[in-house]
Amino acid sequence: MVIRDFEPRDVEAIVAILKANQQYGHEEIDGPEAMLRVHQCQAAEFLVAEEDGHVVGMARGVYDGSRALLHIISIDPKRQRQGTGKVLLCEIAKRFKARGATDMAVTVPGEVGFWQRYGFRVTTRIMLIHPIEKVCDL
């Protein structure tokens, strides 16, 4: 397995994986254009796992100079429980540490078992508003 930075040619495969895992929410947040914006963002780490030339998983997060926040890991359902999530988690943590991060948070909409396996504990709530215009009538 190869872990490498996201490339624009990975978009289609990642959309398919996110949809299969029911992690494809809003087009403007999870869609192809958003992936290309993340790719251009200096603060972001956007990794893919590739096996035999096929994308089988992805991980995405940001380090803002103080805190690292992992937004998502998503593995092709056919490839889950074969160690891919672990390798992506370890690589993105390594990248954040190299930038200076001393801790890492993760947003987890579903099960917490995988994260607990690697020592994450549930702490603060994450609160969400969408669309952003609802904030003070922007």
Ligand X SMILES: CC(C)(COP(=O)(O)OP(=O)(O)OC[C@H]1O[C@@H](n2cnc3c(N)ncnc32)[C@H](O)[C@@H]1OP(=O)(O)O)[C@@H](O)C(=O)NCCC(=O)NCCS
**Which residue(s) pair with 68 in the sheet?**
63, 104
Which are the contacts of 67, defined by CB distance < 8 A and separation ≥ 6?
101, 103, 105
- In whole angstroms, give the CA distance from residue 95 to residue 3: 12
| Selected binder of ligand X within 80, 91, 105, 120 (CB under 6 A) | 80
Q: Is residue 61 within 8 Å of residue 70, measured between CB atoms?
A: yes
Site string for ligand X, 3-32 (x = CB under 6 A): ------------------x-x---------
User: Tokens 């490839």 correspond to what residue?
Assistant: 79
Count the site residues for ligand X by CB under 6 A. Answer: 19
Site string for ligand X, 49-78 (x = CB under 6 A): -----------------------xxxx---
CB of 106 to ligand X, least distance (A): 7
DSSP letters, 26-73, are -HHHHSHHHHHHHHH-TTEEEEEEEETTEEEEEEEEEE-SS-EEEEEE
Shortest approach of ligand X to residue 95 CB, angstroms?
Answer: 17
The contact mask relative to ligand X for 100-119 (x = CB under 6 A, - = no) is: --------x-xx-xx--x--
- 99 near ligand X, rule: CB under 6 A: no
Smaller CB separation from ligand X, 65 or 110 = 110
**Positions that interact with ligand X (CB under 6 A):** 21, 23, 72-75, 80-86, 108, 110-111, 113-114, 117
